Structure 1
Amino acid sequence: MDAPLMLLVDGSSYLYRAYHAMPDLRSPDGFPTGAIHGMVAMMKWLRERYPAEHAACVFDASGPTFRDDWYPAYKANRAPMPDDLRAQIEPIHEVVRLLGWPVLVVPGIEADDAIGTLARTASASGHRVMISTGDKDLAQLVTPQVSLINTMAKPPELLDEAGVQAKFGVPPDRIVDYLTLIGDTVDNVPGVDKVGPKTAVKWIGEHGSLDGVVAAADTIKGVAGENLRKALDWLPTGRKLITVVTDCDLDGHVPGWPALEGLALGPVQREALLAFYDRLGFRTWKRELESDLGVDPQAAPAAEAPKVELAREYETITSMDRLQAWVDRLMAADLVAVDTETDSLDPMAAHIVGISFAVEPGRAAYVPTGHTGPDAPEQLPLADVLAALKPWLENANRPKVGQNLKYDLHVFANHGIALGGVAHDTMLESYVLEAHLGHSLEKLAERHLGRKGLSYEDLCGKGAHQIPFAQVDVATATTYSGEDSEMALQVHQTLWPRLQAEGRLATVYERIEMPAMQVLQRIERHGVLVDADVLAAQSRDLAERMVALEQQAYQIAGQPFNLGSPKQIGEILFGKLGLPVKKKTASGAPSTDEEVLQELAADYPLPARILEHRSLAKLKGTYTDKLPLMVNPATGRVHTNYAQAVAVTGRLASNDPNLQNIPIRTAEGRRVREAFVAPAGHRIVSADYSQIELRIMAHISSDPGLLRAFAEGIDVHRATASEVFNVPLDAVSSEQRRYAKVINFGLIYGMGAFGLASNLGIEQKAAKDYIERYFERFAGVKRYMAETKAKAAEQGYVETFFGRRVWLPEIKGGNGPRRAAAERQAINAPMQGTAADLIKLAMVAVQEALDREGRATRMIMQVHDELVLEVPEAELDWAREAVPRLMAGVAELQVPLVAEVGVGANWDEAH
């Protein structure tokens, strides 16, 4: 008779892996569920495959453990847990229990040590033990009675003693020696510098163990031997940190300990589990349970992705006859999905490897033109393919749909094709409907079609071993690209009716997002001219300033240290200088993050020097050094990418390079804008909406005081100061106006008394009094804030002036602090989102005027509430008059929209 089985699950390892492996799944009310879904699937699979008598799912407790006492820097480089994952921990504990598993969380003890102790105790009592984990550290626990299984490997990976030897090159009883030599970067446990797995296995094989390696250290040659000798004092500590403790006292945490009956695998609590699945939207599992319980399930909600099984027919086109037949089909179709496969992700550099199109779900064609693999068939020349397709591609009356068509617009433009008839973009349809979810085609197909296609990694691999798409065999490329086209078409057929049914959302999509996408592509394509010599001079100046700051910091500290090392900064500030510790990292070490340094800088000189050094280093590394390297050699310009489907408020994101994050609060940051220049015979024109979010606040709150100030053209901050401080307008001091400005903008962002006090450097009571006086004078604002929070809590989102929905998942399901943050966002989002809509409409209006009038002026950047243009000197008068007029005319609010214009030889002069 087999020995009884005990299953031990490394819950902490798996919840991270599940979170990163699963798509961004959400419950019906927007609560994140990806990690929960992954954990449930794994726990169900384990229980079904490995029937056990005893089991435990073990999680790390929050707070420090005994290893932090041994080594304060233990796990110090771990990033904070993502908020969306932290929110799922309690529901994971809940559902694991409902599935019948005992849950174990022991304060002060890592999950690994609890697992090690349980494994040792269970095997000593005659159990076989299987540990489910993805953590290599636990391989040290493997014995003839203890094995590991990694359920997230495909297929699941089972490791016994022979398996550990085969995988790591050492037996289980030498895993600790092996890990001590190579170190553990995840837990911030250093090993021997430059010693990797191969060297560690070689040394252990030659000398038998870590002790043998240490004894032979003097005989080991080369850099590795020298590094080993340097690490000898450290290795005992490293070994201690890596060794899993197997004799922890679990009394009070495991009922009846050291007996294991308190860890008997229990029955599934079906009715409670049914309610859990229903709450989180796990409909397939819910239906399975309903069937088990004999419940007559209701029809699945329309929002659930239907499981569609299509007959797939993807044709590879390698002859002109077949291509022409497809061109005829494309010209006759009401709507066609199109997709390009390329040799680069850089839209300005990408060249076509193949093109696919679909006229109905399940049917598609792929035209390979640049595959170079050893078995690649003869392919049609790209020039011939484009010549045949050009009448359809450029035809504005032949509607096209695709996923992220801005990229394809660039790709075709690289080959001299101006793609016309761009009617729909599935990424933008999803973005308008559900901005808080993911918008990749893979996620859209899974969410709305119940389909999962091939991924790019399936075809090309990952990392250093990834091959170019051109080397993918043509048959597989046909399936991949054909899927992309016909799934995009099917996703559109699913999302477009939903948008149309929403009315105002369809308007946001058709009037704002789709036209803005095509304008953004033109802005990106034109690019912006930068002066590399100006940037080089700024880099030299910044380097000199940084050296001077380093010397000042060394003098204050009394010794040299690395200003880029949080660890060394902490040792100097809190160890040597004895500055007060403001907060600690997750590992218990004093934090040296920016917030802490800002607080300390108010009273101490060294944190101020460190902050200034950080600021200059970031400016130098991100802009003055990097921008010249990003100039496109073909155009001589920098071409950013504007991402539309990112911010839930509708704001654009700029990247490669990020032109929206250039600091403007410091003189050094503003100087970077001097390098953005106009070519000969041109000037830079900057057109910026004036106080746009305050104007939107006045409109949506209908507050009489704010409406009057803007209608009469009164300085709104002066008007606010007059009301709050109860003084005539002409008697408002500059200090009072400054206070009023902070109050105006602070309240837009939901700032409370504490935040206002911090910003103004005043007592919290005084800040509270100012806010109360503000709300007495501007009661409409107070009413708007209360009504907006209540409405957001009721419906889960707020709306902009144009009807864009800004979803706030945590306004219902978040804990206290996160719900409060969601309420602050609810207040600000209608203003920020409306401002985002307005600037997109402004871009579209200006571009339409440029095209209509045949102007040579070009838009070259969009930054926050500002449009930046490159204007021929002959068109300056037109730009000064027309651009602000066009921007002011895109919407009619209760207060006038105003755009201010500046002109200069460079962006800094114009702004």
Structure 2
Amino acid sequence: MADKFLVIDGSSLIHRAFFALPPLMTKQGLHTGAVYGLCNMLLKLLGDLQPAYMAVAFDKSRKTFRTELYADYKGQRKPTPSELSEQFPLAMKVLDTMGIPTLELDNYEADDIIGTFAVHAPEDVEVIIVTGDRDELQLVDTRTKVYYTKRGISDIQIFDEAEFAANYEGLVPKQLIELKGLMGDASDNIPGVPGVGPKTALKLIKEYGDVETVLENIDKVSGKALKAKLADNKESALLSKKLATICTEAPVDTDIAKYALVPLREEARTLLQDLEFRNMYDRFASVLGGAQHSFDLFGETVEQESTPTEHVTLPAQAAQLFAALKACREAVPVAVTVSGQLPELYFSRAELLVEGKVYILDSFSSCWDKFDAWLADADCKKLTVDSKELYKCCLCRKVQAQGIVDDVALAAYLADPGHNSYALTDLSKRYLASTLPTDCENIAMLAVQLREQLKEYEQLALYEELELPLAPVLAKMELSGITPDMELLAQLNEDMTARIAQLEKQAMEQAGEEFNLKSPKQLGIILFERLQLPVIKKTKTGYSTDAKVLEALEGKHPLIATILEHRKLAKLQSTYLDGLKPLVNAKTGRIHTHFQQTVTVTGRLSSTDPNLQNIPTRTEEGKQIRRIFVPGAGYDYLMSCDYSQVELRILACIAQDELLLDAFRHGQDIHARTAAEVFGVPLAEVTHEMRSRAKAVNFGIVYGISDFGLAKQLDVGRKEAAGYIESYFARYTGVKKYMEDIVAKAREQGYVSTLMGRRRYLPDIRHSNFNLRSFAERTAINTPIQGTAADIMKKAMIDVERALEQAGCKSRILLQVHDELVLEVKEDERERVAELMRETMQAAASLEIPLFADVNFGKNWAETK
């Protein structure tokens, strides 16, 4: 068997790794994800191919002999992200330290180095090129193969002469440059012949063989327009062919002996340890040779008796492993790395802890089908972290994951919802005496400890019946996404730009001079020096012009209202009108919002990319933004299912306030009833203004509002606001008692709970600082109400998803915002789904007074309100 010379396109693969894998950073803030991905790929290649020789080629700069021929060559490419550019020298350092030769050349690309090796390697050596660049397919011949990474760094297509011919309709590899001469290459900005695409180019080259012969026979080419294009672009075609041709005479040393692989050197251990690449040295030592030791995530030596590991690459290994998993009666810890982009997520790594041994599947394993089957087996119990991402990746792979009985991130969030992060590394530091070498080992330890804690806190039911089953529902919603009306988005953005420009002009007129509205310094000078408005607050850099300052100045000059309106519109434009377009998935045409399950301390879900919670609900601008969201292909309506006054209903039950309970039992307008009680008038005589003020009191009470806050909200005097609150408590005595009791209980036990047992800890409830203590008291009042509403909504989402599935409906949940679910609905399912939604949402909790859900349809989200 011939020796193998493995030649890697380092520039191409590190790009693939960077965009395919999750970001990774050391404790010192050094980005390492692309280097880690490259190392994993090299490990797989070394293990599978066992080459005798190896080299990794990199591009040195964008200026090469090709840019001298054509200045715009690759000129359209965006600048390399700094998080990636800093990893190229790091990758070369890692490779050099491990004794793997790296090369780069002034005036040449990595392709040219690779091409030179392919041509000049000894005849008895098999050359294997690994790249994500199709240009290198032209190098394929009888002893040279190209391993082309089609997607990410794991999906590889092996090109030999037969594979090339099968993909290019019988052409030989060297004819790839002929194709590019005619059709160009947008990725490299090679012009080709304008208007000649791949099909036409392929037809011409199959008929005439090369570019020159095509140009010599233009008169024989069919089609008047094509003849003209070829005749007018002869020079462009010849130049494009030259640009696409890999140089095979680059000035590199082709002495094969200098690229022989050697055992790992000791300094490689230190570097890999510093980069926090756990076990990476041992893994390379197993294929290259060298003394082996293990290091954990934090760089500390692990004793040799640590848990043994095995990389599962062969079908026989997988068969044995998954047979053992099938027979395993205990829940198996599994940690996965999810890579790619929607809708093409995939697993690039998995760790499983089985009977004291860690089994690893990596990017190049051929055993992922068996892993999928195991994930889909409900009888095989699994422990993991961030189960939502696992579910979502499975959905992309057409796999229905089942049997996940623990998610340590969700368990930790329930146990203590006040932390900023529930990543596995942070949980391990927080809960474990010492961090274990592999993720799945840490998951195993955490699952036991957190289950005990949840059991002690009487939260296991909340965990098993609410948080765990919600994760697959959210995964499905994220994968579904929602369709934006791009034409309307563009029009609204144009209109908003005009409105903002008009406000800027108005501001200049009101100020009496031109200034930059976005400059706090310039605005401060206008407000407090030119207009002589009272200074509210100063900072180290000058006058403060933050929102609180401007709100305090409202009414003192017309410019203040203009600035506030300008800021509001500018924020809406940047967040939603400008911000939505980059979020549209190129493959699905939809926006895939991320729903965060472990962020808020109240238990509510939050959303990012975009944040749907912040779209104004009562303004015309908010309505216009909601018009952007429409039903997608195959659906006819959006449907909004909104709980009506759910927090006030919960307050009535928790407080056992008879007036509130009576109003809800009799289906009265709760705000009108409150107005009648507070203002002492019959229900029939309540005016619109009375109702509006009573509504502010109702919702303000839920959030522990003060007379100062209510006065500001209603634009009345503080004394008048205090009178409203006093009248409210005089009538609604149950609410007043609840507020007093819950604060006292929180002060006694240090936390408050929802009706379903969700806790929120209040460390400042006994604080000597009045402001901190007051905030904790308001939080104690609100959390049982808002948190219970969140729990009810989560239960409704789980029940609705199950009901839709059981009914065989195609209609599906897309969004959850506050107390509302948004669905995509088919015409023939409309009435059935509406009834199903009402019944299911209203049955999500059994309260003393019934829940009520409003259901409305529309051709966009705004129409459902």
**Normalising by the residue count of structure 1, what TM-score does the alignment of the two structures yield?**
0.60
Which of the residues 477, 489, 494 maps onto 1:540? 494
The alpha carbon displacement at 1:666 in A equals 2.0
Aligned to 2:16: none
**Equivalence map 1:90-129=2 (5 Å):** none
2:442 partner letter: M
Out of 521, 545, 548, the residue aligned to residue 592 of structure 1 is 545
What CA distance in whole angstroms lies between the structure 2 residues aligned with 1:749 and 1:21? 40
Change (3 A) 1:813 1:319: farther
Q: Is the 8 A contact 1:845 1:886 kept in 2?
A: yes
Structure 2 partner of 1:491:
446
Q: Is the 8 A contact 1:339 1:408 kept in 2?
A: no
Is 2:734 the counterpart of 1:783? no
1:710 maps onto 2:664 in alignment: yes
**What are the within-5 Å matches in structure 2 for residues 62-141 of structure 1?**
none
Aligned to 2:641: 687
Change (3 A) 1:681 1:449: closer
The residue type equivalent to 1:355 in the other structure is A
Distance in 1 (CA, whole Å) between partners of 2:514 and 2:360 is 62
The answer to whether the Cα contact below 8 Å between 2:338 and 2:390 also exists between their aligned partners in 1 is: no
1:137-536 residue pairs with structure 2 within 5 A? 311-333=306-328, 334-344=330-340, 348-359=343-354, 363-369=357-363, 379-380=364-365, 384-437=366-419, 438-452=421-435, 483-503=438-458, 505-536=459-490
Q: 1:599 to 1:709 in 2, by over 3 A?
A: same
Alpha-carbon distance in 2 for matches of 1:581, 1:610: 17
Match of 2:237 in 1: none
Which one is further off, 315-324 or 866-875? 315-324
Partner Cα distance (1:588, 1:567) in 2: 8
Secondary structure of the corresponding residue to residue 538 of structure 2: coil
Superposed displacement of residue 813, structure 1: 4.1
Aligned to 1:461: none
Deviations along 1:327-359, whole A, 9 cap, x unmatched?
122212221122222445x56554332221113
Cα 1:696–1:435 change in 2 (3 A) is same
Aligned pairs for 1:636-647 within 5 A = 636-647=589-600
| SS of residue matched to 2:359 | strand
Amino acid at match of 2:322: V
Residue 632 of structure 1 aligns to a residue whose secondary structure is coil
Task: Determine which of 772, 784, 789 is the counterpart of 1:818.
Answer: 772
Change (3 A) 1:348 1:818: farther
The CA deviation at 1:681 is 4.7
Partner of 2:266: none
CA contact (8 A) 2:644 2:854 kept: yes
Percent identity, aligned pairs only, is 42
Output one character per residue of 1:789-828: Cα deviation in whole Å (capped at 9) or x when no partner: 0111111111111111112122134622111101101100
Q: Provide the rounded CA distance (Å) in 1 between the counterparts of 2:515 and 2:797.
A: 49
Secondary structure of the residue aligned to 1:654 is strand
Query: Matched residues in 1 for 2:342 and 2:408: separation?
Result: 19
Correspondence for 2:847:
893
- The residue number in structure 1 matching 2:680 is 726
1:795 aligns with 2:755: no
Q: CA–CA distance in 1 between the matches of 2:372 and 2:555? A: 64
Q: Which amino acid aligns with 1:556?
A: Q
Relative to structure 1, the CA distance from residue 399 to residue 494 in structure 2 (aligned partners, 3 Å threshold; closer, same or farther) is: same
**What CA distance in whole angstroms lies between the structure 2 residues aligned with 1:390 and 1:545?**
53
Q: Which amino acid aligns with 1:490?
A: M
- Cα drift, residue 701 of structure 1: 0.2
Q: Name which of structure 1's ranges 778-787 and 625-634 shifts more when overlaid on structure 2.
A: 625-634
Residue 181 of structure 1 corresponds to none
Secondary structure of the equivalent of 1:646? coil
Equivalent residue letter for 2:778: R
Structure-1 residue corresponding to 2:791: 837
* Alpha-carbon distance between aligned partners in 1 of 2:674 and 2:370, rounded to the nearest angstrom: 65
Q: Distance in 1 between matches of 2:646 and 2:612?
A: 20
Give the aligned residue type for 1:509: Y
Residue of structure 2 aligned with 1:553, choices 489, 492, 507: 507
Give secondary structure in 1 for the equivalent of 2:617. Answer: coil
Q: Which has the higher contact order (CA 8 A, sep 6+)?
A: 1
Which stretches of structure 1, 4 residues or longer, exceed 4 Å deviation after superposition?
Answer: 346-349
> How many Å separate the matches in 1 of 2:476 and 2:773?
40
Deviation at 1:707, TM superposition (A): 0.4
Q: Distance in 2 between matches of 1:681 and 1:593?
A: 44
Q: Per-residue CA shift, 1:826-871, capped at 9, x if unaligned?
A: 1001111001001111111111111111111100100000011111
Encode CA deviations 1:634-679: one digit per residue, 9 max, x unaligned: 2221111101011111000100111221122321121011011013
1:672 partnered with 2:628: no
Which of residues 532, 537, 542 in structure 2 aligns to 1:578?
532
Query: CA–CA distance in 1 between the matches of 2:778 and 2:475?
Result: 33
Letter aligned with residue 582 of structure 2? L
- 1:231-281, Cα deviation, whole Å (9 max, x unpaired): xxxxxxxxxxxxxxxxxxxxxxxxxxxxxxxxxxxxxxxxxxxxxxxxxxx
**1:315: Cα distance to partner?**
2.1
- Separation (CA, whole Å) in 1 of partners of 2:840 and 2:398: 31
- Amino acid corresponding to residue 493 of structure 1 in structure 2: V
1:425 offset after TM fit, Å? 0.6
Q: Which residue of 2 aligns with 1:754?
A: 708
Matches of 1:518 and 1:813 in 2, distance apart? 40
Q: Do 1:404 and 1:425's aligned partners in 2 also have CA atoms closer than 8 Å?
A: yes
Q: 1:665 to 1:591 in 2, by over 3 A?
A: farther
Task: Please point out which of 688, 694, 698 is paired with 1:744.
Answer: 698
Partner letter of residue 598 of structure 1? Answer: E
Say which SS state the counterpart of residue 856 (structure 1) adopts: coil
Cα drift, residue 444 of structure 1? 1.5
Q: Which runs of 5+ in 2 are unaligned?
A: 1-25, 29-301
SS at match of 1:625: helix
**Aligned-partner Cα distance in 2 for 1:348–1:434:** 33
Match of 1:265 in 2: none
Give 1:589 shift. 2.7
Distance, in Å, in 1 between the alignment partners of 2:618 and 2:842 is 27
Partners of 2:343 and 2:587 within 8 A in 1: no
Hey, what's the Cα distance between the residues in 2 that align with 1:388 and 1:650? 36
Q: State the match for 2:121 in structure 1.
A: none
Instruction: Give distance in 1, aligned partners of 2:806 and 2:549.
Output: 54
Q: Who is 1:650 aligned against? A: 603
Bigger Cα displacement from structure 2, 426-435 vs 810-819: 810-819
**Structure 1: which 5+ residue stretches go unaligned?**
1-19, 23-307, 370-378, 454-478
Distance 2:325 2:766 in 1: 47
Report the secondary structure of 1:664's partner residue: coil
Q: Which of 833, 840, 846 is the matching residue for 1:879? A: 833
C-alpha distance in structure 2 between counterparts of 1:807 and 1:347, whole Å: 37
Contact 2:435 2:442 in 1 (8 A): no
Aligned counterparts of 1:661 and 1:364: Cα–Cα separation in 2: 44
Cα gap change, 1:559/1:452 in structure 2, threshold over 3 Å: closer, same or farther? farther
| CA positional deviation for 1:579 | 0.9
Deviation, structure 1 residue 588:
6.7
Distance 2:357 2:771 in 1: 50
